[in-house]
């Protein structure tokens, strides 16, 4: 797969994720078209400001949209860290795409951007996301409250 910056033209594909109640089960809510365009603008601004964002994941062979993966800055317990996130079309679940993309983003964050720590905030009932985080070497450090929810705080530290 390849990862690339989001564009307004990705709205239709992103909405396939954002409008799917099952895919968005562990997020605050589904998103409509207006929310999706705001999301894209936020990702573009986040990249311009911080050099990281969620990126579109596409199949390398044909450019087919698979989902999104990347990092955004997140404030937890008064400290700001890059958070690794991944969200894929339901048709892509169980095929290793989230693990592949998350591993690539983690490598980029630790080795190229030299982040000292990368986190993931995961709903305790979201077993597939927990498996992805653990598969790429992240550890459950604690439980935190964010967005009016209790979440697992997974992290990995830069060993270099």
DSSP string, 39-54: HHHHHHHHHHHHS--E
Averaged over 144-154, what is the pLDDT?
Answer: 94
Which pLDDT score is estimated for 159? 84
Averaged over 58-87, what is the pLDDT?
Answer: 96
Q: 34-60 pLDDT, tens per residue? A: 999 999 999 999 999 999 999 999 999
For helices 97-107 and 127-135, give the axis angle rounded to 10 degrees. 50
pTM for the predicted model, two decimal places: 0.93
Query: In angstroms, what is the C-alpha Rg of the chain?
Result: 15
Distance CA 62, CA 27 (A): 29
Q: 3-45 pLDDT, tens per residue? A: 999 999 999 999 999 999 999 999 877 899 999 999 999 999 9
């Amino acid at each position: 797969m390849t990862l690339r910056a989001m564009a307004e033209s990705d709205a239709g594909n992103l909405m396939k994720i954002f409008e799917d109640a099952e895919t968005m089960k562990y997020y605050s809510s589904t998103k409509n078209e207006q929310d999706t365009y705001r999301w894209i603008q936020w990702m573009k601004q986040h990249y311009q400001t911080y050099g990281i964002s969620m990126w579109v994941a596409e199949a390398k062979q044909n450019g087919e949209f698979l989902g999104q993966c990347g990092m955004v800055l997140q404030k937890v317990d008064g400290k700001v860290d890059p958070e690794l996130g991944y969200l894929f079309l339901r048709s892509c679940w169980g095929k290793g795409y989230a693990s592949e993309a998350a591993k690539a983003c983690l490598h980029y964050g630790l080795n190229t951007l030299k982040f000292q720590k990368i986190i993931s905030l995961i709903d305790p009932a979201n077993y597939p996301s927990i498996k992805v985080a653990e598969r790429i070497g992240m550890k459950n450090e604690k439980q935190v409250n964010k967005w009016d929810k209790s979440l697992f705080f997974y992290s990995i530290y830069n060993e270099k």
